[in-house]
């Protein structure tokens, strides 16, 4: 769905640079200093309007969260939510996550969330999928020991592709769930898309995978 352009987005993001970190590459290896603690850091790639990362930050105050969203017209909604809640354990990045190693040092991150990522269903677009091998190599570098990648999607094709990709790239599969809401996981925080799709009766798929370190 195309998002309506918000001409005020640039100014709003600049005004809220205490939430939106303008130069994340300069924070590489020093994110704990920015949070002012040594709590685990979890990253969501493709945060959308922020419902998931806000919910996680509220549910787990002992964890630090960083959300990455490229579209300015979308990330402003996430920033507004965070500003209203006045949360100290979440930052947003208005960046392209083409190489997360530019923003995070080796072993700096404890968890990566991939929620309802673009499935890029055409074969010629395989390299754009966030669970393609080139991306998994990046995740392996920045994830610390026992760090996981957690994928949620409504797209069975992407789910099946990702499970295979995880396995082929040396990851251990810790969970495969083809109907997440059927197990009534009370710790699950839903995204906007998740609420929409599940309301229509579509199954939500979840996979958790980790590298051995």
Cα angle 206, 173, 64 (rounded to 5 degrees) comes to 65
> What's the rounded Cα separation, in Å, for the pair 206 and 35?
29
Residue in 99, 118, 179, 185 annotated catalytic? 118
CB 145 within 8 A of CB 107: yes
Residues near 98 by beta carbon (within 8 Å), at least 6 away in sequence: none
Whole-angstrom CA distances from 136 to 15, 95, 166 are: 34, 18, 8
Q: Is 154 a catalytic residue?
A: no
CB burial of residue 122 (10 Å; 0-12, 13-18, 19+) = exposed
Give first-to-last CA distance, the chain, whole Å.
Answer: 39
CB 46 within 8 A of CB 114: yes
SS (H, E, C) 55-66: HHHHHCCCCEEE
Active site residues: 118
């Amino acid at each position: 769905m195309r998002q309506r352009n918000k001409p005020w987005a640039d100014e709003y993001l600049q005004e809220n640079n205490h939430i939106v970190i303008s130069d994340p590459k300069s924070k590489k290896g020093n994110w704990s200093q920015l949070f002012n603690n040594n709590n685990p850091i979890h990253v969501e790639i493709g945060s959308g309007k922020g419902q998931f990362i806000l919910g996680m930050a509220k549910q787990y105050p002992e964890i630090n969260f960083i959300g990455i969203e490229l579209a300015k017209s979308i990330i402003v909604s996430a920033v507004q939510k965070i500003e209203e809640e006045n949360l100290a354990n979440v930052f947003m990045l208005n960046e392209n996550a083409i190489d997360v190693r530019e923003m995070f040092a080796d072993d700096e991150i404890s968890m990566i969330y991939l929620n309802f990522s673009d499935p890029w269903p055409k074969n010629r677009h395989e390299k754009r999928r966030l669970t393609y091998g080139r991306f998994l190599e990046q995740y392996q570098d920045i994830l610390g020991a026992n760090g996981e990648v957690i994928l949620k999607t409504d797209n069975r094709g992407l789910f099946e592709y990702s499970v295979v990709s995880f396995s082929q790239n040396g990851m251990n599969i810790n969970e495969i769930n083809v109907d997440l809401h059927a197990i009534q996981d009370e710790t699950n925080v839903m995204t906007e898309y998740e609420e929409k799709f599940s309301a229509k009766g579509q199954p939500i798929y979840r996979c958790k995978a980790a590298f051995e370190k």
